[in-house]
Amino acid sequence: MTELKNDRYLRALLKQPVDVTPVWMMRQAGRYLPEYREVRAQAGDFMSLCKNAELACEVTLQPLRRFPLDAAILFSDILTVPDAMGLGLYFEQGEGPKFMHPVRSYDAVAKLAVPDPEDSLRYVMDAVRTIRRELKGEVPLIGFSGSPWTLATYMVEGGSSKTFSVIKKMAFAEPKALHLLLDKLADSVILYLNAQIAAGAQSVMIFDSWGGALGHRAYEEFSLRYMAKIVDGLTREADGRRVPVTLFTKGGGQWLEKIAATGCDALGLDWTTNMADARRRVGDKVALQGNMDPSMLYAEPAQIRQEVATILDEFGEGSGHVFNLGHGIHLDVPPENAGAFVSAVHELSKPYHQK
């Protein structure tokens, strides 16, 4: 077992004392970095980059060379699981991910097999193992998956959607078909994340990117229920340490108490949720991650610094806060602004951890 030189991210997720508030950024390995764009061009296309363990490792490590981040996150995509189910994932220029074979009937769902993570998804596990080796214990590695509901939206819609009308039609006209799909996806994600943990991921995160598109009761039925099943099925200790689990529903601020009740260790917050309100509502039950608007990184460093100060003040003293953006960093953000953000979090958070 490699000793971690910087474990404040894991400690904060478990609400243990830290010296400063840890920080990382969603999509921290990405197109805003010129060195990422070079490797992406070398790979030829996005999925070829994901499937090459050495290149996936390289782009995972790139932001850590630039910024004193407190965690690395596996470079991959949330749609690897449905791709492994044989749906034919491809990317249209300027349109995002699409599937050649959308799943739109009970019979089509019934034919889907739960993928073996060390077979059709072995390239992800190879990337995890390579990244852990090359990190040399500097910071922890985060593994991740999409939530069953979010994966299902792409599988049923056939790609991205603004209205989610096709999957909502299935939800309300053919709920048995959708529940069968979500159940298979939950089983798949449990296997997938546990394989990432076995390969070396030290924390895992579930991205429920489209949970906020659901109505109040529908969210509990079609999204939260299946994330809770995943939390129940995950390996929670490896290498002699707790493996923290973070759930993030974009647009899910109204359900924080219910998400916290799943047994997860931390909640991700988007920028529409006030940090002070969130802490007041969930108390010390879970840690909180978030929640700066990614667009704030277009501002001047002084303004970024002020926003960091405000959010730190909203959370207040003590551990249990991982600073992050409320969603992924935008592709045209100047890297120096991201650096100003990370530095501000470490510098300004020290007084909140002195007791």
Domain boundaries, the chain: 8-353
DSSP 262: T
- pLDDT less than 70: residues of the chain: 1-2
Q: Which residues are catalytic?
A: 27, 31, 40, 77, 154
Query: What is the per-residue pLDDT for 305?
Result: 98
Q: In what order do the strands lie in the sheet with 141-146?
A: 72-73, 141-146, 203-208, 245-249, 266-268, 287-292, 321-325
Annotated binding site for substrate: 27-31, 77, 154, 209, 327
Query: What is the per-residue pLDDT for 1?
Result: 53
How far apart, in whole angstroms, are the C-alpha atoms of residue 263 and residue 13? 13
Query: What is the per-residue pLDDT for 354?
Result: 87
Token duo for residue 42: 């070398």
Q: In terms of Cα–Cα distance, which of 204, 297, 188 is closest to 242?
A: 204
3-class SS of residue 284: coil
CB atoms within 10 A of CB 172: 10
Cα three-residue angle 78-249-73, rounded to 5 degrees: 45
- Number of H helices and E strands in the chain, helices first, is 16, 11
List of residues 6+ apart from 240 with CB closer than 8 A: 1
How far apart, in whole angstroms, are the C-alpha atoms of residue 174 and residue 167? 10
CATH number for the 8-353 domain, one of 3.20.20.210, 3.40.1080.10, 3.30.390.50, 3.40.50.300?
3.20.20.210
